[in-house]
Amino acid sequence: MKLSQFKFNLPESLLASEPSEQRDEARLMVLHRDSGKIEHKIFKDVLDYFDDQDVMILNNTKVFPARMYGNKEKTGATIEVFLLRELNKELRLWDVLVDPARKIRVGNKLYFGDDDLLVAEVVDNTTSRGRTIRFLFDGTDEEFRRNIEILGETPLPKYIKRKATPEDKFRYQTIYAKNEGAVAAPTAGLHFSRELMKRLELKGINFAEVTLHVGLGTFRTVEVEDLTKHKMDSEQFIITDEAAKIVNKGIDSKRRVCAVGTTSMRAIESAVSADRHLKASSDWTSKFIYPPYDFSIANSMITNFHTPESTLLVMIAAFAGYENTMNAYEVAVKEKYRFYSYGDAMLII
């Protein structure tokens, strides 16, 4: 398929810059894959579509405060440093993006915080905006992490043109987040409240937790018309024995197995055994799912509404069918559903 087939007109006013007042009261579109039928609900109504022994696969990655602002030595210029991932714990080496990049060269030092709580030195150039930096810090890892927490901001996506608030620290995180390592939230999971989780549990739904540390590559613009030529960035994922057992029991007993979010879907589709079951795995994936694609594990999914020509929209079309997806998105725009990270949700069954 071609990238241009995933164009649609998305008014800027539909990009959600604030979360819904209550997590589970965002709007929910339900799309039936077999008929293309669409229903309009509230997210907490998701309860009505699942029964005893059905399975929901959750991505329990935890977002860390990845956006920091430092001052360049001598000039004092303010530089945004976006932490992507830790390369070496002992040496405190990190892969980062810097902005404005033209001002930052190998050997430059950056100072963070009023009292220079952290200092970093640029040790390598990786891409036009990418750098490897080393934090010059002698304390314990615990103290270092605490300083990152103090200095870092919630890494809201760039389209949200406001400063991150203390509320974002809580709302741009799923309630079941555990394993720190993501620079963007697995946003479909943001709609689950504690109360809704409890009600699903009481109904007999089983939860399988997987981890995929969401990187910025998820949002990288696709720059090739031929989708087979697009390369995804690698992201780390972990699937435990316990999670695989829960999911495989659901598959074997022909239950509804639901991937909560495109990140959960990428993780499970990167760990499929020869007999089309989920296998325990700890690895990196650069899997790009586009139509036509034969899904092995999940038979339903929950996702947010994605932007035109994004890898996420392409994956949804592979799962729900191209015509169904583009029609549903046309309806979503007409009905003024809210799009992107803080937006509304879609259940595909």
* pLDDT on residue 221: 83
Residue range 162-166: average pLDDT?
Answer: 90
Residues in the chain, how many? 349
- Provide the CB-side half-sphere exposure for 306 (13 A, CA): 25
101-105, 152-156, 178-182, 191-195, range with greatest mean pLDDT: 191-195
pLDDT in tens, 268-310: 999 999 999 999 999 999 999 999 999 999 999 999 999 999 9
At 101-143, the pLDDT tens digits run 888 999 999 999 988 889 999 999 888 888 999 999 989 999 9
The mean per-residue pLDDT over the stretch 135-154 comes to 93
pLDDT at 51: 97
Mean pLDDT of 172-192: 96
- Domains of the chain, CATH where assigned: 3-63+169-348 (3.40.1780.10), 67-153 (2.40.10.240)
pLDDT category at 265 given cuts 50, 70, 90 is: very high
User: Is the per-residue pLDDT at 48 higher than 90?
Assistant: yes
Burial of 223-245, coded b for 16+ CB within 10 Å and e otherwise, reads eeeebeebebeebbbbbeeebbe
Token pair for 242 = 């316990």
Q: Tell me, what's the pLDDT at 76? A: 87
Say yes or no to pLDDT of 219 above 80.
no
- Does residue 331 surpass a pLDDT of 80? yes
Whether 349 has a pLDDT exceeding 80, the answer reads yes
Name the 3-class secondary structure at 246: helix
Rg for the chain, CA atoms, rounded: 21
C-alpha separations of 77 from 105, 124, 257, 325 in Å: 13, 20, 51, 46
The pLDDT of residue 73: 87
Mean pLDDT of 177-181: 94
pLDDT, the chain, mean: 95
Compute the distance between CA of residue 286 and CA of residue 288 in angstroms, rounded to an integer: 6
**pLDDT for 172:** 96
